[in-house]
Chain A
């Protein structure tokens, strides 16, 4: 490689410098800071507030003996699997599939209704969901109108309520991804399959799904990471209660760091959340890799 060429190559990298700088400064640095804090006894107040000491893996050791932690990991996985992987993902695919066949006005109305929940700011969507599920809320009034006695959903079935709320809020994203993917499926292949006498189900399993496989993996990755980080929705609807019955990892981390002022312990929980995100992420990347045949 001649010297001039390498200088030119380096100059070509110049335009990305600002964005890489911003990424490092606003994303990597806080993540690293938080990871570092999880090995200290940093606190909001008290003796360790301004001069935290290095405590090694103490915080992580404490996680293992904390009764709230395993339950919280399970709830987080349940929340992600039920509301993102099954709920948003499958419902989004179903709506997108139906919309490709529906008449224009029908699909426009459905699309608007679904997207409406998604464009709301999270706090507004959270309060709407709270108003819907709360004891004197919309759902119970509808049920009462139909002659059924409602329940206090947020108290009796907090996880079901937040899962449904998150499906309602996030399905639009999956729907949009799948609409775009389905629109790219070549018509002639589907027609050829039809000629060969493939049923609708067979066409879906053997033609459509393999063709949109990379969209599925991408979508799963995005909705999983979004759902792992959901905090506002749960905080507003149930505050993680009753008795921690809907305390996912972000809620637990917030409580430890800001309610009890234990920044070190809170960031340790947040680090576990990052690891959980990595586990899901790696699984999806594997799924994508199979594409490069």
Chain B
């Protein structure tokens, strides 16, 4: 290296060092505090935006000098999670209050992103109204509470009565075994070859929808499970896993579900809610308790006749074994960022957003299942849509995802397995073996249980 060049490099390194050390953050002034609220908003999901706008008004009126800064992220669930995680990585960009999917709570607690709320909740009277089972959704591995549920959901079979009746199937319909589903679907196909009789999502494009609204309803209705809670290990090599894949294969091979190409389109659910069910081109689909929110007045796919035409059934277990049905529950929570400079204020805001008035409005607007006993007893809630009672009953047979930090990888591996089966790339047996291998690679043999 020439002398001048060497000097230049030295100069540059010094400058870079100076530049980086000069970037230390400024402390906010105490008198005008700002709370940063990060949440999800999409063109078909604005209930939360409304909730926070109302809460901001109430809160700022009651707390002079504090500004609430709403930062909606416009993205689908997957991308929202990614953007939120990126914001949480550094204390500078971390929000004070955040909207958090229940299945990310544990891993974000592990990461040290969320504030422990126990001491705040003790002093918060409303906490007593929360359903005990649902409180678990916001609990970390240490048993402390880190997030407060906004609502919960269940999943069942949503069927179009007219399509079933055309095929000579009596409504209300309640299949008791997997075979009864196939029988009914074949009848519908025979009566009208142009309809999609019974759709269940599959493939990576539908993401968490593929597991929550399809595969787990099957797997949790067999004698096998995804995760052994006692051993804290992931189950591989189970018969139930292969059976569940085989059921999906039958559904797709016999053209009882949408075509594989349609299933691999990330927007397939929009067609289900917006076109196929309302137009009587689909017999049934496994979907969530929030379905009416798309069809009711002001929803993305308004459909006046949904209350008349649609019905809800429990998803049956494989051979009708106990408890006779399967549902999956997820739901979202609000949490306080661990790096919040004003944690007390942040929790105050969370409490304002989740008070009875705001909770009720949000629960009704987004067709959630109430998690507060006082909201659940409200006539407005019970009359929100004709199916509130049906979907609330499913809570008795519901399961929650094993929300460990490595869960997203497991979920992705399941999605890959379903995709391989419906596209005919692998047989159910091969896809299950590939899943087992993937799981072993991803989480290590120590966390795997051969059944």
A: which residues have CB within 8 A of B?
A: 6, 9-10, 13, 17, 20-21, 24-25, 29, 43-50, 62, 65-67, 135, 152, 154-156, 239, 241-244, 258-261
Q: Establish whether residues B4 and A239, one from each chain, have CB atoms under 8 Å apart when the complex forms.
A: no
B409-433, CB < 8 A from A: 409, 412, 416, 419-420, 423, 425
Decide yes or no whether B113 CB sits under 8 A from chain A: yes
Decide yes or no whether B261 CB sits under 8 A from chain A: yes
Q: Bound state CA distance, A44 and B266, in angstroms?
A: 24
Q: Bound state CA distance, A24 and B89, in angstroms?
A: 24
Using Cβ atoms and an 8 Å threshold, which residues of chain A touch B110? Answer: 45-47, 49
Decide yes or no whether B3 CB sits under 8 A from chain A: yes
Q: A65-B441, A259-B408, A261-B408 are in contact. Are A9 and B419 (CB under 8 A)?
A: no
Using Cβ atoms and an 8 Å threshold, which residues of chain A touch B132? Answer: none
Q: A241-B205, A243-B423 are in contact. Are A261 and B85 (CB under 8 A)?
A: yes
B73-104, CB < 8 A from A: 78, 82, 85-86, 88-89, 104
Pick 26 A–B contacts, CB within 8 A, sort by A: A6-B4, A13-B4, A13-B5, A17-B8, A21-B12, A21-B16, A21-B19, A29-B16, A45-B108, A45-B113, A46-B107, A46-B111, A49-B85, A49-B89, A67-B434, A67-B437, A152-B261, A239-B204, A241-B419, A242-B203, A243-B419, A259-B78, A260-B409, A260-B412, A261-B82, A261-B408
> Which of B15, B85, B406 sits near A44, CB closer than 8 Å?
B85
Q: Establish whether residues A135 and B261, one from each chain, have CB atoms under 8 Å apart when the complex forms.
A: yes
Residue of B nearest to A12 (CB): B4
Residue of A nearest to B7 (CB): A10
Using Cβ atoms and an 8 Å threshold, which residues of chain B touch A46? Answer: 107, 110-111, 405-406
Contact-size category for B:
35 or more
B76 → chain A, closest Cβ, in Å? 12
Residue of A nearest to B419 (CB): A243
Q: Bound state CA distance, A154 and B205, in angstroms?
A: 13
Q: Establish whether residues A49 and B111, one from each chain, have CB atoms under 8 Å apart when the complex forms.
A: yes
Q: Bound state CA distance, A25 and B205, in angstroms?
A: 37
Residue of B nearest to A254 (CB): B82
Q: Establish whether residues B16 and A25, one from each chain, have CB atoms under 8 Å apart when the complex forms.
A: yes
Decide yes or no whether B112 CB sits under 8 A from chain A: yes
Centre residue among B7, B88, B204, B260 by max chain A CB count within 10 A = B204
Residue of B nearest to A20 (CB): B12
Q: Establish whether residues B112 and A50, one from each chain, have CB atoms under 8 Å apart when the complex forms.
A: yes
> Which of A25, A62, A156 sits near B441, CB closer than 8 Å?
A62
Using Cβ atoms and an 8 Å threshold, which residues of chain A touch B405? Answer: 45-47
Q: Bound state CA distance, A209 and B340, in angstroms?
A: 64
Q: Bound state CA distance, A135 and B437, in angstroms?
A: 34
For the complex of A and B, the 3 pairs showing the least CB-CB separation, nearest first, are A49-B111, A46-B405, A155-B261
Q: Establish whether residues B82 and A44, one from each chain, have CB atoms under 8 Å apart when the complex forms.
A: yes
B275 → chain A, closest Cβ, in Å? 12
Decide yes or no whether B218 CB sits under 8 A from chain A: no
The prevalent SS among residues of B at the interface is helix
A161 → chain B, closest Cβ, in Å? 13
Using Cβ atoms and an 8 Å threshold, which residues of chain B touch A47? Answer: 110-111, 405
Using Cβ atoms and an 8 Å threshold, which residues of chain B touch A154? Answer: 261
B: which residues have CB within 8 A of A?
A: 3-5, 7-8, 11-12, 15-16, 19, 78, 82, 85-86, 88-89, 104, 107-108, 110-113, 203-205, 260-261, 264, 266, 405-406, 408-409, 412, 416, 419-420, 423, 425, 434, 437, 441
Q: Bound state CA distance, A156 and B423, in angstroms?
A: 10
Residue of A nearest to B437 (CB): A67
Q: Told that A29-B16, A43-B111, A46-B110 touch, could you supply 8 new A-B pairs with CB distance under 8 A?
A: A6-B4, A45-B104, A46-B111, A49-B111, A239-B204, A242-B264, A243-B420, A259-B78
Using Cβ atoms and an 8 Å threshold, which residues of chain A touch B409? Answer: 260
A51 → chain B, closest Cβ, in Å? 8
> Which of B19, B85, B416 sits near A243, CB closer than 8 Å?
B416
Using Cβ atoms and an 8 Å threshold, which residues of chain B touch A20? Answer: 8, 12
Q: A6-B3, A49-B112, A49-B113 are in contact. Are A44 and B86 (CB under 8 A)?
A: yes
Q: Bound state CA distance, A260 and B19, in angstroms?
A: 33
Residue of A nearest to B5 (CB): A13
B219 → chain A, closest Cβ, in Å? 20
A226 → chain B, closest Cβ, in Å? 25
Q: Bound state CA distance, A50 and B90, in angstroms?
A: 8
Q: Bound state CA distance, A46 and B406, in angstroms?
A: 8
Q: Bound state CA distance, A241 and B205, in angstroms?
A: 8
B223 → chain A, closest Cβ, in Å? 29
Q: A17-B12, A44-B89, A135-B261 are in contact. Are A239 and B205 (CB under 8 A)?
A: yes
Q: Establish whether residues B8 and A13, one from each chain, have CB atoms under 8 Å apart when the complex forms.
A: yes
Residue of B nearest to A43 (CB): B111
Residue of B nearest to A42 (CB): B89
Q: Bound state CA distance, A13 and B6, in angstroms?
A: 11
Q: Bound state CA distance, A288 and B330, in angstroms?
A: 59
Q: Establish whether residues B264 and A155, one from each chain, have CB atoms under 8 Å apart when the complex forms.
A: yes
B31 → chain A, closest Cβ, in Å? 31
Q: Establish whether residues B111 and A45, one from each chain, have CB atoms under 8 Å apart when the complex forms.
A: yes
Using Cβ atoms and an 8 Å threshold, which residues of chain B touch A135? Answer: 261
Q: Bound state CA distance, A20 and B441, in angstroms?
A: 43
Q: A44-B86, A44-B89 are in contact. Are A21 and B15 (CB under 8 A)?
A: yes
Using Cβ atoms and an 8 Å threshold, which residues of chain A touch B261? Answer: 135, 152, 154-156, 242
Using Cβ atoms and an 8 Å threshold, which residues of chain A touch B8? Answer: 10, 13, 17, 20
Q: Bound state CA distance, A70 and B110, in angstroms?
A: 33
Q: Establish whether residues A259 and B82, one from each chain, have CB atoms under 8 Å apart when the complex forms.
A: yes
Using Cβ atoms and an 8 Å threshold, which residues of chain A touch B111? Answer: 43, 45-50
Using Cβ atoms and an 8 Å threshold, which residues of chain A touch B205? Answer: 239, 241
Using Cβ atoms and an 8 Å threshold, which residues of chain A touch B19? Answer: 21, 25
B407 → chain A, closest Cβ, in Å? 10
Centre residue among B104, B261, B423 by max chain A CB count within 10 A = B261
Residue of A nearest to B8 (CB): A13
Q: Bound state CA distance, A66 and B434, in angstroms?
A: 12
Q: Bound state CA distance, A276 and B249, in angstroms?
A: 39
Using Cβ atoms and an 8 Å threshold, which residues of chain A touch B260? Answer: 155, 242
Using Cβ atoms and an 8 Å threshold, which residues of chain A touch B4? Answer: 6, 9-10, 13
Using Cβ atoms and an 8 Å threshold, which residues of chain A touch B78? Answer: 259
